Structure 1
């Protein structure tokens, strides 16, 4: 889902996990994956470095939702 406003585009992505604990476990594994870390570093370098990207992606948020369905 994207919304454009005054030359800004908001991008939202939603993932579902069975629990917050599952999310944390998966996130930890991703952050410990050396191949993933190398891909991220290469992407940052290709895009001009983190300082350049701060001008493009000036805001990043992470929210957690809980089901209200029983």
Structure 2
């Protein structure tokens, strides 16, 4: 999962949370042979500081809580 996708998904989830018209969300992959398998390892390797790593972790956790 790339940070850009996580940011976009978080924005969509915020809009849906404020809407009474939606009661469910279906997430599909544009990839024909798989779905999100985890974090983007290159993105994780590029982390330069503890603060940057924490920010990525918190973004992921917020998104997962909203999906739950």
Interval of TM-score (by shorter of Structure 1 and Structure 2):
under 0.3
Please give the TM-score of this superposition, normalised by the length of structure 2: 0.28
Greater CA radius of gyration, 1 or 2? 1
TM-score (norm 1): 0.27
**Which structure is richer in relative contact order (CA contacts within 8 A, separation 6 or more)?**
2
Higher strand proportion: 1
Structure (1/2) with the larger helix percentage: 2
